[in-house]
């Protein structure tokens, strides 16, 4: 279906990837929990039974295995998927998107910790960032969206944009301010010091030493500091 076509563009919205092939065919990929791309610069191994997609040109061969979604769509179908997603903090037009986020968040009655995983509210956050963002903003995960001040809502969006941009740049999730672990620069952080709360249940908060707690929310575990996020 895609053989021989030229790749015109690749776009991302949240964790959804859209490969636009000429003319007017869109490959929609979502890696989910298990999906991985593997690239072979030379001498590609033959695809295995788990390989769902192979893309190759003269220089590189890329395999995709384990994705939640790998489907060929027409542009209208791709648009429909795009339209049902909430705003992406990494997209341009951020001020407008922030207002849209505030609107969509305010309509929900679920806890803010659950809303951050709802792709119709905000796209692309994920389980690590939802916990880290709420820590950075000093917001308890079980707060009702309606109880959040405009400033708190703004800070969630702006912090998401900043942190996601940093993650994109470094290809790592590093939310910790080096000052909080007693070093000067990001590069001096030990890998165990990259996050404030994610998967740190029982360990002392990096800011106040209170033991980190965790709770189940939207079917997944979220960690938080009961003192910093009172």
Partner DNA sequence: TACATATGATCAT
Partner DNA sequence: TGATCCTATGTAA
Interface ranges with DNA (CB under 7 A): 14-15, 30, 32-36, 38, 50, 65-66, 68, 84, 117, 119, 123-128, 173, 199, 218-221
Minimum distance between the CB of residue 107 and DNA, rounded to whole angstroms? 16
Query: 8 or 40, CB closer to DNA?
Result: 40
Minimum distance between the CB of residue 61 and DNA, rounded to whole angstroms? 14
Reading the block at residue 199, the tokens are 């998967």
Report residue 112 CA to chain centroid gap: 16
What's the CA gap between 197 and 139, in Å, rounded? 13
Minimum distance between the CB of residue 205 and DNA, rounded to whole angstroms? 19
Minimum distance between the CB of residue 127 and DNA, rounded to whole angstroms? 3
Reading the block at residue 82, the tokens are 């795009």
Minimum distance between the CB of residue 163 and DNA, rounded to whole angstroms? 11
Residue with tokens 């997603």, as numbered in its chain: 85
Query: 56 or 230, CB closer to DNA?
Result: 56
Query: 15 or 98, CB closer to DNA?
Result: 15
SS3 73: strand
Query: 146 or 220, CB closer to DNA?
Result: 220
Using alpha carbons only, give the angle 208, 210, 212 rounded to the nearest 5 degrees. Answer: 115
Query: 187 or 219, CB closer to DNA?
Result: 219
């Amino acid at each position: 279906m895609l053989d021989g076509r030229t790749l015109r563009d690749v776009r991302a919205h949240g964790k959804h990837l859209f490969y636009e092939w000429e003319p007017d065919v869109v490959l929609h990929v979502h890696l989910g929990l298990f999906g991985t791309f593997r690239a072979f610069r030379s001498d590609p191994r033959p695809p295995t039974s788990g390989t769902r997609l192979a893309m190759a040109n003269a220089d590189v061969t890329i395999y995709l295995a384990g994705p939640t979604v790998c489907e060929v769509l027409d542009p209208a179908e791709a648009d429909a998927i795009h339209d049902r997603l909430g705003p992406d903090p990494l997209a341009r037009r951020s001020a407008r998107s922030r207002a849209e986020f505030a609107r969509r968040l305010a309509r929900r009655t679920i806890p803010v910790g659950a809303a951050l995983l709802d792709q119709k509210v905000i796209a692309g956050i994920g389980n690590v960032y939802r916990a880290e963002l709420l820590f950075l903003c000093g917001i308890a995960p079980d707060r009702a969206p309606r109880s959040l001040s405009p400033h708190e809502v703004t800070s969630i969006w702006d912090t998401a944009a900043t942190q996601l941009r940093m993650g994109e740049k470094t290809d790592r999730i590093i939310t910790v301010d080096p000052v909080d672990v007693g070093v000067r620069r990001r590069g001096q952080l030990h890998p165990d010091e990259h996050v404030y709360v994610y998967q740190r249940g029982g360990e002392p908060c990096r800011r106040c030493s209170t033991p980190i707690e965790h709770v189940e929310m939207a079917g997944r575990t979220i960690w938080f500091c009961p003192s910093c996020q009172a």
